[in-house]
Amino acid sequence: MKAVEIKNGVYWVGAVDWAVRDFHGYETTRGTTYNNYLIMDDEVTLLDAVKSNFMDVSIKNIKSVVDPSKIKNIVINHIENDHASGIGAIMELTPNAKIYITEKGRKGLERFHDLSKWNINIVKTGNTLTIGKRTLMFLETPMLHWPDSMMTYIKEDKILVSQDAFGQHLASSVRFDDEFVTCESMSELDDAVTDYYANILMPFGALIKSKIAEVQKLGLEIDVIAPDHGIIWRAHPGKTIQRYLDMANGAAALSVAIIYDTMWHSTEQMTLPIVQGIRDAGVDCKVIKLRASAMSVAIKEFWKARACLIGTPTLNNIMYPSVAHFLTHLRGLRPKNRMVGAFGSYGWGGGAVKEAYEEFKRMGLEAVEPGLQILFKPSLDDEMKCYEYGKAFAEKVKEYHNKF
Ligand code: FEO
């Protein structure tokens, strides 16, 4: 790879990680990129570093434009390791560069690096930095998704460097949305956006709405949204912002995600008539078996659908471990505006379905009770009960969906 010019004098100098599949537990089935940006102006300025083991790639890209020792300013929008762990390598090449960072960012960064010899400058929302013909404006975005997070707006080029927001974990040979749509597909890109939002940003819907409102109030014109992961948005940045607003408002399809696991195939057998019942009620349905799917895919499918049915066998009087794992992970993402129910088979004594409802209650989700439990293996009569259960659940989902 080499530097890619975004606008005259503004370059992508990041790295593509085709191989990563475990991103601190998020299963990145499409890999990712670590984006950082170089601005050639009177004062050469770097926006963000990349993950330390990819910093040599970024430095090569910088060198394709300018000698790194010429970098005068480094903006650190976010200190998470995938962006800031490479900062030491670039500081070795330009030790007198001034660093611009939020106060919370500085406090975090000093836990990872010796800052005593670095020229650290604290910035807040609305502060600006003139680097020649260009002015950078900083916008703090605390808890999107870390306390230190901020964005940088390049005023003259109308580029919003948005850090993790508007990103996707998507390795690609191209850098821009219009190129990706041509060489891959819009649906692939859209799916990557949903996947990223569901797995990282789901808890922060209210914050996302308030930050977008703040950007709009500031009257910032945006030609390009340049996130720190994935594809850069230049074709329709307004549509990308609207897409985020829709997701922050809890938009979902009128459909049910059945997310289940099974021990001896009885719970799995229950899913088939339940699917049929849901479909016969006029609602779409998707089935995800947990141990056959990436956790990130299960989270994404949960998020896409207005409702979810959890299928879990009882093991040792509690939920099946993979189901408990999924629900614990989901609880951390603080889902809202979703309807849920649970079903499963049991042997000597139940427990799993009851426990699933306890977890729904902890999450504050709209739970349809009672769940459905079947002893050992579904009989033909039981299969009819499953069908009716699916149909009745779908009717409730339709009513619930109409509220949004
Ligand atoms: Fe891409 Fe929060 O780091």
Ligand 1: which residue has its CA nearest to atom 1?
164
CA distance 193 to 52: 25
Strand order in the sheet with 10-12: 4-7, 10-12, 37-39, 44-47, 71-75, 98-101, 119-122
Q: Looking at ligand 1, which atom is closest to the CA of residue 200?
A: 2
Q: Is the CB of 82 under 6 A from ligand 1?
A: yes
What pLDDT does residue 184 have?
85
pTM value is 0.92
Distance CA 174, CA 33 (A): 11
User: Residue 24: what pLDDT?
Assistant: 86
Q: Is 140 exposed, middle or buried (0-12, 13-18, 19+ CB in 10 A)?
A: buried
Residue whose structure tokens are 């207005």: 306
| Nearest-angstrom CA–CA distance, 75 and 55 | 16
Residue with tokens 């956790």: 295
> What confidence score (pLDDT) does residue 385 get?
98
Domain boundaries, given as residue ranges, for the chain: 4-248, 256-401
Query: Would you put residue 235 in left (φ > 0), alpha (ψ -120 to 50) or beta?
Result: alpha
Residue 29: closest CA among 396, 369, 398, 299? 299
Helix, strand, coil shares, percent, the chain, to 5: 40, 25, 35
Using CA positions, which residue lies closest to atom 3 of ligand 1? 80
Residues labelled catalytic: 24, 78, 80, 82, 145, 164, 196, 229
**Residue 340: per-residue pLDDT:** 98
Buried b (16+ CB within 10 A) or exposed e, 327-361: bebbeebebebbbbbbbbbbeeebbbbbbbbebbe
* pLDDT tens, the chain, 404 aa long: 789 999 999 999 999 999 999 988 888 999 999 999 999 999 999 999 999 999 999 999 999 999 999 999 999 999 999 999 999 999 999 999 999 999 999 999 999 999 999 999 999 999 999 999 999 999 999 988 899 999 999 999 999 999 999 999 999 999 999 999 888 889 999 999 999 999 999 999 999 999 999 988 989 999 999 999 999 999 999 999 999 999 999 899 999 999 999 999 999 999 999 999 999 999 999 999 999 999 999 999 999 999 999 999 999 999 999 999 999 999 999 999 999 999 999 998 899 999 999 999 999 999 999 999 999 999 999 999 999 999 999 999 999 999 99
Please name the fold of domain 256-401.
Rossmann fold (3.40.50)
Architecture of the domain defined by 4-248: 4-Layer Sandwich (3.60)
- Atom index in ligand 1 nearest the CA of residue 34 equals 1
What does each C-alpha distance from 360 to 32, 40, 158, 205, 261 come to in angstroms?
32, 52, 44, 20, 17
Is residue 12 helix, strand or coil? strand
